[in-house]
Amino acid sequence: MPSIIKAVKLGFDYVKYSEESETPEHVSAIRGIDLSVKRGDFIAILGHNGSGKSTLAKHINALLVPTSGTMWIDGIDTSKVEELWKVRQKAGMVFQNPDNQIIGTVVDEDVGFGPENLGVATEDIWSRVDDALSKVGMLGFRDRSPNKLSGGQKQRVAIAGVVAMHPDCIVLDEPTAMLDPNGRREVLEVIRDLNEKEGVTVLLITHYMEEVVFADHVYVMDQGELVMEGTPREIFSQVETLKKYKLTVPQVTELAYELKAAGVKLPDGVLTRQELVDALMPAADSGKVEA
């Protein structure tokens, strides 16, 4: 099966004009990125600020075109101008700030904005909007003004706006960074639902470790390059390496790591609280915790 997102030797350079120096400076935001994402996967990309993860995300939606290498979305080269709208329909994008991506003054009008741009017939727009709003659990808010919603609700509306365009994959660029814990949970539930029930390929960009536990595959970026990849368990078992990239592991993983370092026999890469409990209980039974 061909991969939905594929990048080969992807690089993006730009020229930066700083106020201090006269000569423009060449910066390469990302370089040498090889990526291949299977249809229906839940992919997480981790990285601290300035690691190039947002730049990579914008390449998937063809908001940026690579200065070197190639990016394909469902087999379409994103640098082909005539395929631009097709690429953007296939790869929807949700941004960080919910306020700055909602265009409509009423919730359902905003969700209809994407289909309107695609030239979908009026009746189909309505059914798409109903469908998208119910998938994110916001159908009851369709007549509200977005300004009156909570951050998590706004972000769910933004996700519905992308879902209504029937994309093959959704790229979410730090969708929870501006939300409170409740909003963050709501949004993550919606994203997981879309992935599991609708089979939408999800690419979640974040710096919250807790959010990537459920991912099928995790990539870690640092200084514009992909530096680690693997399952969440594989990634989180390398606590020291992650710390080198200025990332912290989830609290439970950190605790398990510290316990292990202190001599408790535990497996590497404990991801959830339940796993830690399960791993600790037999250990406690045989009295090794005291040791």
- Which chain residues interact with other proteins by CB under 8 A? 61, 63, 85, 88-89, 92-93, 95, 97, 99-106, 108-109, 112-122, 125-126, 129, 146-147, 161-162, 165
In this structure, the strands spanning 91-94 and 169-173 are: parallel
- Measured CA to CA, the distance from residue 87 to residue 84 in angstroms comes to 5
Is the CB of 47 or the CB of 112 nearer to other proteins? 112
Place of tokens 């989830």: 250
Nearer to other proteins, 118 or 227 (CB): 118
Which C-beta is closer to other proteins: that of 38 or that of 86? 86
19 secondary structure, DSSP code: S
- By C-beta, is 54 or 238 nearer to other proteins? 54
Q: Is 212 exposed, middle or buried (0-12, 13-18, 19+ CB in 10 A)?
A: buried
**Whole-number minimum distance, CB 254 to other proteins, in Å?**
34
Q: Closest separation between CB of residue 78 and other proteins, Å? A: 13
CB of 246 to other proteins, least distance (A): 25
Closest separation in Å from C-beta 67 to other proteins = 19
If one counts every other C-beta atom within 10 angstroms of the C-beta of residue 150, the result is: 14
Which residue lies nearer to other proteins by CB, 21 or 100?
Answer: 100
Q: At what angle do helices 273-285 and 251-261 cross, to 10 degrees?
A: 30
Smaller CB separation from other proteins, 205 or 220: 205
Phi, psi of 144 (to 5 degrees): -80, 160
In 246-273, which positions are buried (b, 16+ CB within 10 angstroms) versus exposed (e)?
A: ebebbebbbebbebbeeebebeebbbee
In the complex with other proteins, which residue's Cβ is closer, 126 or 245? 126
> How is residue 137 annotated by DSSP?
T
Question: Nearer to other proteins by C-beta: 96 or 248?
Answer: 96
CB of 201 to other proteins, least distance (A): 16
Residue 204 Cβ vs other proteins, minimum distance, rounded to whole Å: 16
Q: Closest separation between CB of residue 224 and other proteins, Å?
A: 20
Helical ranges in the chain per DSSP H: 53-60, 84-90, 107-118, 122-135, 151-163, 181-198, 232-236, 239-244, 251-261, 273-285
Minimum CB–partner distance for residue 33 and other proteins (Å): 20
Strands 169-173 and 201-206: parallel
For residue 230, list its beta bridge partners.
218
DSSP-derived letter for residue 7 is E
